[in-house]
Amino acid sequence: MRLLSDSIGRKAVMAVTGLMMVLFVVMHLLGNMTIFAGANGINTYAEKLHALGPLVWVTRVVMLVAVLAHLVISIQITLENEAANPTKYAVDRALRATFASKSMIWTGLLLAVFIGYHLLHFTIRALPGMVLGTDALGRFDVYAMVTDAFHKASIALAYVVGMVALYLHLSHGVQSLFQTLGLSNDKLQPAYGAGGKVLSTIFLIGYGSIPVLILLALAGK
């Protein structure tokens, strides 16, 4: 039996890496909410987080491995599935499959692009024209960097598109991971489904509110 080549083994890896990313996304959202406490809020949070030093780096490396494993296996599996079902029906009627479940590879690839862009943007801070200064207490000014970026409609829109992709990916993905890990049955499955929808809606509204509210100048002035 092989974890990285058997069908269920690879799906289990996707489910575990998916779960790791979901947990990361929960923590990241909690951290990001400090932006609504203003400059002092998010700048303090950012400084405290970076003060954790090695812990931050361990998390980064672990998450990078998880994202890459998830990405590589998802492409492999999707290509295999396509090859297993080469001829489509003339009448394509789904009984239970959803738009979200059928577009996992596309919302996933969109997320890959988003993750790359987002890291270049706010983590590596290597995009042209960014506001990279310090605040009155001499700390790196995350607040100014973020609000400046989201005052541009194109950037705010790019983040919202990313969050819609995340919403779709997880509205199928969360319940799917429990099924893949064998932690489901008839009674639990609807609960996972509902829980996954609630969680992905929270992510959509929580993360989405940051660029939208800043763009509409309801926050960040």
Partner 1 sequence: MSAHETMNLKLIVWRQAGPNQPGRFETYEAKNITPHHSFLEMLDVVNEDLIKAGQEPIAFDHDCREGICGMCSAVVNGVPHGGQQRTTLCQLHMRKFKDGDAIYLEPWRARAFPILRDLVVDRSALDKLIQTAGFVSCHTGGVPDGNAVLVGKPQADYAMDAAECIGCGACVAACPNSAAMLFAGAKVSQLAELPQGQVEAPQRVAAMVQAMADNGFGNCSNHYECEAACPKGIKVKFIARMNREFIKALALEKVGAVNTARLKSE
Q: Are 64 and 115 a contacting pair, CB within 8 Å?
A: no
Q: Which distant-in-sequence residues (6+ apart) come within 8 Å of 42 by Cβ?
A: 32, 34, 35, 142, 143, 146
- Whose Cβ is closer to partner 1: residue 186's or residue 221's? 186
Q: Which partner, partner 1, ligand HEM, none, binds residue 200 by CB below 5 to 8 Å per kind?
A: none
Q: Which partner, ligand HEM, partner 1, none, binds residue 121 by CB below 5 to 8 Å per kind?
A: none
Q: Which stretch binds partner 1 (CB under 8 A): 3-11, 55-63, 121-129, 197-205?
A: 3-11
- Whose Cβ is closer to partner 1: residue 49's or residue 105's? 105
Region 111-130 residues binding ligand HEM, contact defined as CB under 6 A: 111-112, 115
Residue 200 interacting with ligand HEM (CB under 6 A): no
Burial 118-145 (b: 16+ CB within 10 A, else e): eeebeeeeeeeeeeeeebeeebbbbbbb
- Whose Cβ is closer to partner 1: residue 87's or residue 154's? 87
Q: Which of 29, 63, 69, 71 binds ligand HEM (CB under 6 A)?
A: 71
Q: Are 110 and 162 a contacting pair, CB within 8 Å?
A: yes
Q: Which distant-in-sequence residues (6+ apart) come within 8 Å of 178 by Cβ?
A: 15, 184, 188, 189, 192
Q: Which stretch binds partner 1 (CB under 8 A): 18-26, 56-64, 144-152, 173-181?
A: 173-181
Residue 18 interacting with ligand HEM (CB under 6 A): yes
Smallest CA-to-CA distance from 142 within 64, 42, 210 is with 42
Smallest gap, in angstroms, from Cβ of residue 19 to partner 1? Answer: 14
For residue 77, how far is the Cα from the chain centroid? 20
Q: Which stretch binds partner 1 (CB under 8 A): 58-66, 118-126, 156-164, 168-176?
A: 168-176
Q: List the x/- string, 177-206, binding to partner 1 by CB under 8 A.
A: --xxxxxxxx--x-----------------
Q: How far apart are CA 146 and CA 221, in angstroms?
A: 12
- Whose Cβ is closer to ligand HEM: residue 143's or residue 203's? 203
Residue 70 interacting with ligand HEM (CB under 6 A): yes
Q: Which distant-in-sequence residues (6+ apart) come within 8 Å of 9 by Cβ?
A: 1, 2, 3
Q: What is the DSSP string of 137-151?
A: TSSB-HHHHHHHHHT
Binding site for partner 1 (CB under 8 A): 1, 3, 6-12, 77, 80-81, 83-98, 101-102, 104, 172, 175-176, 179-186, 189
